[in-house]
Amino acid sequence: MTIDSPERRTTMEAIQDYIPVTKAKAQLLEIIRKIQNSDEAIAITKNGEPEAVLMSMEKFNGLLETLDILADEKAMASIKKSIKQALEGKWLSYEEVFGS
């Protein structure tokens, strides 16, 4: 699979930059500073193929949290129920939720 293959389309949308491993080794500190306070994810390539991803700890922790939620059947059922109710126009007012 190459960077341009259809299988990589979703991955490509999440990755902002591709850097060869040799360049990444030479510029690692600069790359870390670049991603440290951003949502940016950078793919490290070897022979033109993505092999690893660098991202901030905040983004990584967010991904782990998302995976935890997706794996939680009760949480997903609640989310799906809420979406269904919203699509059906079943809303609660601020007062109904928090009182007046």
Distance of CA 97 to the CA centre of its chain: 31
pTM of the predicted model as reported, rounded to 2 decimal places? 0.64
Say whether pLDDT at 100 is over 90: no
Structure tokens at 3: 């960077």
pLDDT at 97: 85
- pLDDT 10s digits, 75-86: 999 999 999 998
